[in-house]
């Protein structure tokens, strides 16, 4: 079984007129592109790349005609080589709790969804980003997995970071005081099955001339895919190359049960992942967020005790997530009493446990609910 699903740089050329999509390149890739394709002198390429990053990611230019730091001749050359194309917003839904869900159309007419989740003041947002059309994983409690049943394709770096640009445009978030303060790569798809493209998008999010988000403002999720990447375990590689918060979608601490609800556990077991997660913490000094969907069957004392054993091995914090029932599944949400008792066991053992209420449930924008049938497009 192939678990890489990464798109090489040479395949990221835009569908339109063979131009290179600007958003598909990180800073170093853009600099090299300017040297090789635009024939800009090596000594000036870094400055030109900074000017382009600043114009697009800070000043939010919509056309390369606005690239006034470039002379007319060079600007025309760049316009023939580079595109600023982004996906198109084709539908917007607003929840009664302030959550906003966007349906985006990609160049190949496929669709993905992006969600803006407001804080209590309704003035700051967390953006939930998708990384693929469909999902290869088959977690039984996730609507995205149940409706897609397959990975259609991964998103390019530009399709990932454009979700942020489009949402910033929608809420007019271009001042120095960000309205979108946090990013979570927890929408459709698995970031660890699209690592190369996720890395470029995160590079541009963190770059001081790009969107300029700090490392603790970005969280990447993984179910625990123990693939190799550049001769390292992927989780260890991510510590070095991504250097952001990592969220581990665990959801069950008892192996047999986890395999029943998450088939990935049969290939990459809990015990095989613990050393990698420990290395992630050792490298980044960022605690692992353990994600735990609150089902009637996994909020038991046995599950809590086994989870404590895991948390003693991996510096971590627990996020308890309210379950959003699926029409075609028999899972039942845990009672508040079960959640409180479970959380108390975790806290009594010295660990942080937080319960997250579902947001955007009335528009299918809550965790595990991004399953609009349009999301698969023409497939």
Catalytic residues: 113, 367
| Pick from 149, 142, 148: nearest CA to 368 | 142
- The 10 Å Cβ neighbour count of residue 189 is 32
Greatest Cα pair distance, the chain, in angstroms, is: 70
Angle 123-129-135 from CA coordinates, rounded to 5°: 150
DSSP state of 13: B
State how far the Cα of 87 lies from the Cα of 110, in Å rounded to an integer: 10
Residue 75 corresponds to which tokens in the numbers above? 């600007």
Which helix (H) or strand (E) segment holds residue 190: the answer is none
| Pick from 326, 333, 236: nearest CA to 292 | 333
**Placement of tokens 């056309």 in the chain:** 63
State how far the Cα of 314 lies from the Cα of 316, in Å rounded to an integer: 6
State how far the Cα of 141 lies from the Cα of 369, in Å rounded to an integer: 9
State how far the Cα of 295 lies from the Cα of 132, in Å rounded to an integer: 26
List all residues 6 or more positions away from 75 whose beta carbon is below 8 Å from its beta carbon: 64, 65, 67
Which helix (H) or strand (E) segment holds residue 83: the answer is strand 82-83
- The 10 Å Cβ neighbour count of residue 147 is 17
| Pick from 108, 151, 116: nearest CA to 132 | 151
DSSP state of 335: P
**Whether the Cβ atoms of residue 205 and residue 164 lie closer than 8 Å to each other:** yes
């Amino acid at each position: 079984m192939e678990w890489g699903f990464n798109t090489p740089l040479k395949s990221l050329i835009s569908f339109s007129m063979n131009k290179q999509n600007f958003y598909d390149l990180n800073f170093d890739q853009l600099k090299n592109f300017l040297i090789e394709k635009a024939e800009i002198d090596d000594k000036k390429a870094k400055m030109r790349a900074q000017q382009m990053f600043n114009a697009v990611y800070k000043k939010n230019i919509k056309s390369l005609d606005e690239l006034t730091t470039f002379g007319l001749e060079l600007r025309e050359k760049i316009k023939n080589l580079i595109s600023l194309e982004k996906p198109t917003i084709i539908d917007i839904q607003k929840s009664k709790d302030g959550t906003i869900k966007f349906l985006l159309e990609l160049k190949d007419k496929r669709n993905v969804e992006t969600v803006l989740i407001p804080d209590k003041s309704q003035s700051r947002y967390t953006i939930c980003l998708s990384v693929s059309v469909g999902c290869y994983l088959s977690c039984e409690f996730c609507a995205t997995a149940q409706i897609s049943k397959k990975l259609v394709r991964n998103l390019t770096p530009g399709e990932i970071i454009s979700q942020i640009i489009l949402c910033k445009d929608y809420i007019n978030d271009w001042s120095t005081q960000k309205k979108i303060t946090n990013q979570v790569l927890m929408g459709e798809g698995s970031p660890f099955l699209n690592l190369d493209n996720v890395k470029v998008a995160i590079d541009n999010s963190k770059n001081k001339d790009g969107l300029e988000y700090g490392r603790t403002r970005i969280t990447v999720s993984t179910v625990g895919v123990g693939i190799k990447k550049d001769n390292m375990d992927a989780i260890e590689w991510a510590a070095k190359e991504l250097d952001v918060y990592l969220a581990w979608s665990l959801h069950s601490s008892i192996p047999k049960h986890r395999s029943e609800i998450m088939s990935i556990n049969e290939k990459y077991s809990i015990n095989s992942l613990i050393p990698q997660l420990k290395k992630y913490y050792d490298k980044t000094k960022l605690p692992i967020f353990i994600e735990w969907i609150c089902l009637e069957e996994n909020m038991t004392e046995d599950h809590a005790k086994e989870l404590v054993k895991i948390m003693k091995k991996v510096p971590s914090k627990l996020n308890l997530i309210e379950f959003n029932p699926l029409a075609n599944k028999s899972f039942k949400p845990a009672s508040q009493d079960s959640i409180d008792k479970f959380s108390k066991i975790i806290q009594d053992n010295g660990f942080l446990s937080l319960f997250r209420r579902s947001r955007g449930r009335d528009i299918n924008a809550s965790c595990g609910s991004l399953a609009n049938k349009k999301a698969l497009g023409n497939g």
